[in-house]
Structures are given as C-alpha cells and as structure tokens.
Amino acid sequence: MCGIFGCICKDGNVAKLIHEALKRLEYRGYDSVGEATVFGGKIYVKKEQGKIDEVHKLLNLDDLPGSVGIGHTRWATHGAPRRENAHPHLDCDENIAVVHNGIIENFAELKVELEELGHVFKSKTDTEVIPHLIEENLKHGLPFIDAVREALKRLEGSYALAIITTVEPDKIICARKESPLILGVGRDSMYCASDIPAFLPLTNKAVILDDYEIAILQHDKYEIRRLENWEQILREPETITWTPEMAKKQGYPHFMLKEIHEQPIALRNALRLQDLYLDLMATFLDRAKNVFLVACGSSYHACLAASYMFSKLAYLPTYPIIASEFIEQTGMAVNIDSTILAVSQSGETADTLAAVEYARNRAATILGLTNVVGSTLTRVSRVYVVQQSGPEIGVAATKTFTAQLIVLAQLALRVAKLRGKISSQEIKRIERELKNIPNMVEETIRRNEEKAKQIAEKYKDSKVFLFLGRGISVATALEGRLKLMEISYVPAVAFPAGESKHGPISLVEPGIPAIFICPRDETHKTIIGNIMEMKARGASIISVIEEGDEEIKQLSDDYFEVPGKISEVFSPITFVIPLQLFAYYMAVKKGYNPDMPRNLAKSVTVK
C-alpha cells in the first residue's frame, strides 16, 4: 500500500502542499518518498529512501518550482526501498512522471517488450513500465490523453495513478482500478489522493473515482471519463464532514474496523504476488524432509490452518509450532533437511526470529511470509514473500491474518501441483474459488456487521466464552477467541470440539455462551453432536454457519451466516470475519479502545 497525491493550482508553488499532504498519507507507507513538478517545459524530481521528515531534511521537498505536481509515499512491493525504486518514475526523455499505488501484474512482460524497443529502465519497480508505455504511444503520434488511455489498456493488476507531463503541463491525469483514488475540488485548485485526509485541510469537497475511470484535472475543472468507451461521467463533489481524527480512519471510528473492512482489498493484493517466489517456496517445501510452520499469536493460528491446507491439498505433513516453544519442543529434530516457514506480519517478532536464528544455525532452510518489506525476517530468509496488506495500525491482527491464510493456501496449492496430488481440473476450480474469496469476504462483512452489534449487545456482560471447532475450524476458533480476549478482556477458552468431553465441558453452566464454527465440511455431522452436548447442559449456542444451514440454525440461540459455498480448507478466511466483528463490537460496547488494548504492542520485539 502506498500513498499518492496530486495537486494543481492556478498559481504559486505546490511542492510544500504536496509535502504536507504526503505527511498525512504516511501511514500508508514510509520507506521512501518523492515529489515531481512540471515547470518551464521541464519535470523536476526529488526522491529518496527514508521517512518523509528524513528525506525533507536531506533534500528540502518544498522548493520544487511550479503549480502542478505529484507526490508519493512508498510501501515497497516490487524493488527494495532504495532511491531508484522511489516514485515518481519517469520515461526515457523525462517528459512524463508517474506515481502509482497498486501492483502491475504483467510488468515483467511489458518491460521486456519496452526494452526491446530501446527503453531504458532505472528501477526494479512494476510502475516504471507506465511512463515508458505512454512515451512509446506518444512516439506513434497519439495525443497525450490517448497515449495514457492506450497504456492503461495494457495494464493488468491494480492501480491508482497520477501523471504529469511537459506535453500538457497544465493537467494532471489520474486513473483508478482496484486501488483507491479520490479527487478534491478546491477553489482554483484541484487535488487527487489515495484518501480524503490527504486534502481535507485544503478542501472538503470530494469526488470518488470508480474502477476503470480516468480523470483529467485542471486548476479550475475536472473531467471524468470511462476508460473503455471514453464516455464522460458527470459526478458532483460530495461534502465531507469528518473531523481530522475521523479522517485518518477514513470515517471509521477505529483503525481495527477500517482494517476489517479493508480485507477484500488485502486479499486481492495477496492473490497478486509474484509467481516466481511462491513457486520457489513451494519447491523448498516439497523437497524438505520435515516442515515446521513457526509463528506467534494470530500468525500461529494461520500456521495451524495452513497445516490442514498442506495436508489436505498436497498430502504434505507439517508441524505448526508456537515460536516461543520451537526450540524446546522440536529444536533437536531440526537439521539440514528441515524447512522452516516463519510467518510474521511485522517480520520483527523476537520469538519468531529466535526460532529462525536457531534453525539457521542448524543449517535448516528458512522461508518467510511477512507484511513488511525490509523487516528482519526478509533479511534472514532464503526466500520470502511480502503479503501486501498495507500497514495494519490496530494492534489486533485482522486483514493481515486473512491475507496470511490466502498466501498459505496458494502455497499449499502449488505444493499439491508439484506433487501431482490434484487433477488439473480441480486446480482450475480451486484457482477460480480463490479468486472469488475477496468478494465472499466483502459480502460476509456486509451481512454480519449489524448482527455482530446485536449479538455483542446481548452477550456483553457474559463472564466467559467458549470457542469450538473441528478440523481446520479449530484454528478459526482459536483466532476468534484471541480477538475477543485481547480487545474486550473477556476470558475465553478455545479447543477442538471433540475435546469437550475430555474436560472442558465441566465449565458449562446455564447461559454460558459457546461459539461454534460450523462450515459445511466433513466435520459438520460430528459438530452437531458437540453442539447438542453443550445445549443439553444449558449453554447458549452462537454458531457461525454456512448460509442456509437450517439444521444448525435450529439448534442455535444466535447465529452468523457466511454467504456462499467455500471449500473446507479456505473456510477460516470467511468464517473468522464475524468473529472479528463480534470481538470489535464487544470491546466498543464495553467501553474499550480496540485499537490499543492494554499491555499489548503491535510488534513484540522482546522474548
């Protein structure tokens, strides 16, 4: 996730305005920053690796000339956080500057094609193909706007773009597909940004762009057109009434809720990772004599779910291990034939890194899955992938958890392919299903938010909760319980439903809420028996069920319905959503701030 900003004024210099707006976008990424303006037939650029304040101290971002400019604050995806990879990116003749948020999936092919035509690339980014594509189109005599339009038609993936040029120096061209982009309409000035807070101190009039729309900004007007047929779209600005605090959270009361709602985007991004690295990881996993999945907290729950995915899809046994126990529990069994897949959102969790260090010293192969480019985990891993969820500010993991799951699912599928364990027909079906999961998550959030509020209201004074699941849903139960406990401070226990009768059922007394995770998978019949056991002893049954599961609905006091059919191995991705919402509303109703639970930190760098 990166932040982009564009600004065009009647007169005066815009560089300082861009700098200030980038500060407000800094939460979207902060490993490099850059600005470009157009003035007197020339593009001026300043960019560098580092946080905005550091770069400003070094370069002074405020003295670029001109009243038209763009800026970018980067969360590295393709290419390390270095100067040459910082945006804006330019064409060969330095007449076009582009800032981009998103991922161009087919950049590698486009780059080869453009290099064959003589274009020289300076960065490792996916973005740089865009100015070169536009430049190439200009060479063929197209007017600038058409050159942009034709370039956009070649791009696969996601983008929010702001483009300036010496060819039409009084304009900013922006475009959007699957990455946010909003126009700000000022008096004698026009803005575009990744989110509203970037321009809110300058104007409260906003126009939200939709996918496949291009906007042409001049200081006194904007024109929106549909990419496909160039049809003009007339869209009046809306007035934004957010306070500055609300604006940072894009109108949501808390980052956690914002991040719950960002899951469809985070999942789409996680489905666009580079094949090369996923394939490489899959090869290491396939070849290892033993595979350990090592992590803490929510990331451990993702590993637990992944162990079912690897087993069920690829017939690969793996050991999910809590990182702080790794050395004691399995240390002596780790050797040169072992592969450790370490999963850490921050890439800095001390327990996970200690396990990795130990395994490295025993010559094991280290693979990393993280959300933070340049984190320690990326530096100590033989191969790593960055899940591209964007910064997560709420302490409780939400979007990064489901994104970890979908990356691990892709890895399991790749290992399955390598091992020839599933037919090509089945692979195709699963790939289609994976692609649709972000939509299912979107729908699950939509349908369950009100319900979560109501159920939280009903149970907010309960003193203890039980979370139960079978099969892969044990991981979902554990994650639901962790969410509830850590932000609403209600004690909760989670265990495989089959274990009830071996002890925990003695906790049950009338009215105790028992939350059952019940996808319609092979465990469905058995879990009905477990529900009955609890019900018979007076527990209040709250179930998370597949849409239309009348059998379990009948047995439940309250239920969350998850729309659509989902394969068992992917079910934690949708079934955890109502539990996240429930935990969130429990915390809010109890008067706690879910973003900053007591005693916790986002990144745990002590053992």
Considering the complex, state which of residue 311 and residue 603 has its C-beta at the smaller distance from ligand F6R.
603
Q: Does 194 bind ligand F6R (CB under 6 A)?
A: no
- The DSSP annotation for 266-304 comes to HHHHHTT--HHHHHHHHHHHHH-SEEEEEE-HHHHHHHH
Q: How far is the CB of 481 from ligand F6R (least distance, A)?
A: 11
**297, 320, 368, 572: which one contacts ligand F6R (CB under 6 A)?**
297
Considering the complex, state which of residue 160 and residue 492 has its C-beta at the smaller distance from ligand F6R.
492
**7, 68, 285, 482: which one contacts ligand F6R (CB under 6 A)?**
482
Size of the site for ligand F6R (CB under 6 A): 15
The pattern of x and - marking residues 330 through 369 that bind ligand F6R according to CB under 6 A reads --------------xxx--x--x-----------------
407-to-172, 307, 379 alpha-carbon distances in Å = 36, 13, 19
Q: How far is the CB of 167 from ligand F6R (least distance, A)?
A: 46
Q: Does 197 bind ligand F6R (CB under 6 A)?
A: no
C-alpha 298/C-alpha 120 separation (Å) is: 44
Burial-class residue 336 by CB neighbours within 10 Å (0-12, 13-18, 19+).
exposed
**298, 324, 365, 444: which one contacts ligand F6R (CB under 6 A)?**
298
Considering the complex, state which of residue 274 and residue 603 has its C-beta at the smaller distance from ligand F6R.
603
Q: Which helix (H) or strand (E) holds 409?
A: helix 399-418
Q: Does 488 bind ligand F6R (CB under 6 A)?
A: no
Residues 128-187, interacting with ligand F6R (CB under 6 A): none
Tokens of 344: 């850490």
Considering the complex, state which of residue 95 and residue 404 has its C-beta at the smaller distance from ligand F6R.
404
Stretch that binds ligand F6R, among 138-146, 204-212, 245-253, 297-305 (CB under 6 A): 297-305
Residues 230-259, interacting with ligand F6R (CB under 6 A): none
Considering the complex, state which of residue 259 and residue 546 has its C-beta at the smaller distance from ligand F6R.
259
Residues 6+ apart with CB under 8 A from 361: none
Q: How far is the CB of 258 from ligand F6R (least distance, A)?
A: 15
Query: Which bin fits 61, alpha (ψ -120 to 50), beta or left (φ > 0)?
Result: alpha
4-to-129, 339, 558, 565 alpha-carbon distances in Å = 17, 39, 44, 37
Q: Is the dihedral of CA 75, 134, 121, 281 positive or negative?
A: positive
**296, 364, 477, 485: which one contacts ligand F6R (CB under 6 A)?**
296
Considering the complex, state which of residue 101 and residue 344 has its C-beta at the smaller distance from ligand F6R.
344
Amino acid type, 114: L
- Cis bond before residue 88 (omega within 30° of 0): yes
What number of helices (H) and strands (E) belong to the chain? 19, 25
C-alpha 134/C-alpha 91 separation (Å) is: 8
Q: How far is the CB of 35 from ligand F6R (least distance, A)?
A: 32
Considering the complex, state which of residue 179 and residue 346 has its C-beta at the smaller distance from ligand F6R.
346
Q: Does 580 bind ligand F6R (CB under 6 A)?
A: no
Query: Which bin fits 199, alpha (ψ -120 to 50), beta or left (φ > 0)?
Result: alpha
**Could you say which DSSP state residue 495 is in?**
E
Pairing mode, if any, of strands 365-370 and 338-344? parallel
Q: Does 577 bind ligand F6R (CB under 6 A)?
A: no
Q: How far is the CB of 262 from ligand F6R (least distance, A)?
A: 15
Question: Nearest CA to 34 among 9, 5, 13, 8?
Answer: 5
Residues 37-66, interacting with ligand F6R (CB under 6 A): none
Residues 195/305, Cβ–Cβ less than 8 Å: no
Q: How far is the CB of 604 from ligand F6R (least distance, A)?
A: 5
Question: Nearest CA to 342 among 302, 394, 393?
Answer: 302
C-alpha 226/C-alpha 205 separation (Å) is: 21
Considering the complex, state which of residue 174 and residue 517 has its C-beta at the smaller distance from ligand F6R.
517
Look at the block and give the residue holding tokens 């162990």: 307
Q: Which helix (H) or strand (E) holds 562?
A: strand 558-562
| Closest residue to ligand F6R: CB criterion | 297
Considering the complex, state which of residue 133 and residue 395 has its C-beta at the smaller distance from ligand F6R.
395
Q: Does 513 bind ligand F6R (CB under 6 A)?
A: no
Q: How far is the CB of 214 from ligand F6R (least distance, A)?
A: 38
Q: How far is the CB of 597 from ligand F6R (least distance, A)?
A: 9
Q: How far is the CB of 266 from ligand F6R (least distance, A)?
A: 14
- Catalytic residue IDs: 2, 602
Considering the complex, state which of residue 25 and residue 441 has its C-beta at the smaller distance from ligand F6R.
441
Stretch that binds ligand F6R, among 172-180, 295-303, 326-334, 440-448 (CB under 6 A): 295-303
Paired residues of 42 in beta bridges = 39
C-alpha atoms less than 13 angstroms from C-alpha of 557 in its C-beta half-sphere: 19
Residues 365-424, interacting with ligand F6R (CB under 6 A): 396-397
Residues 32/59, Cβ–Cβ less than 8 Å: no
Q: Does 189 bind ligand F6R (CB under 6 A)?
A: no
Stretch that binds ligand F6R, among 132-140, 242-250, 293-301, 559-567 (CB under 6 A): 293-301
C-alpha 601/C-alpha 588 separation (Å) is: 19
Stretch that binds ligand F6R, among 207-215, 296-304, 446-454, 526-534 (CB under 6 A): 296-304
Residues that bind ligand F6R (CB under 6 A): 296-299, 344-346, 349, 352, 396-397, 482, 486, 603-604
